[in-house]
Amino acid sequence: MTRALKALLLVLMLVPGAAMAVEPDEVLDDPVLEVRARAISKQLRCVVCQNQSIDESTAPLARDLRLIIRERLVAGDDDRQVITFVVDRYGDFVLLRPPFQGDTYVLWFGPLIIFLLGGAIIFYYFRKVLKAVPDAPGSAKKRKPGP
């Protein structure tokens, strides 16, 4: 095998399979509706995978949601109506960019709070450990003379 062919095969193996999530039988005949369906699918989170949009996910639930989106578009719903339909059933969590409101503060600030709490715990833990370590012999720290 030539080097170029090996390199091509390596690149193809590294391409994520999620890019192929939309099955051929899901694709709409109308290219305009299909583009709208893909745009909507990229805005919605797969509630199974949670780190992927339903456009990328191969989970069965993501497929069902993609099909529902396409059905709603064919029925004549606009993009906002389709998104509202899905949010009404799954809540704001299904949006990859949830609205900034009282009931979604946990989604917006949760990771930051967890990061800060983890940092504080690590800081206090190492501070306690460093205080417990006796001074090394020959250190430059001066001690007060005893009585």
For residue 138, being part of any structural domain is answered with: no
- Crossing angle for the helix pair 31-41 and 79-90, to the nearest 10 degrees: 40
- Token readout for 117 is 């709490």
For residue 10, being part of any structural domain is answered with: no
Same domain as 107, residue 42 = no
> Which of 55, 82, 98 delimits the end of a domain?
98
- Token readout for 77 is 């719903």
Query: Cα-flanking dihedrals φ and ψ of residue 45, to 5°?
Result: -85, 140
pLDDT at 84 (0 to 100): 95
pLDDT at 98 (0 to 100): 80
119 or 9: which leads in pLDDT:
119
Same domain as 91, residue 33 = yes
- Domain extent, residue 83, equals 16-98
For residue 146, being part of any structural domain is answered with: no
Q: How many residues does the chain have?
A: 147
Is 6's pLDDT higher than 80?
no
Same domain as 108, residue 54 = no
What whole-number percentage of the chain has pLDDT above 90? Answer: 43
103-135 pLDDT per residue, tens: 778 878 888 999 999 999 999 998 888 887 776
Same domain as 88, residue 22 = yes
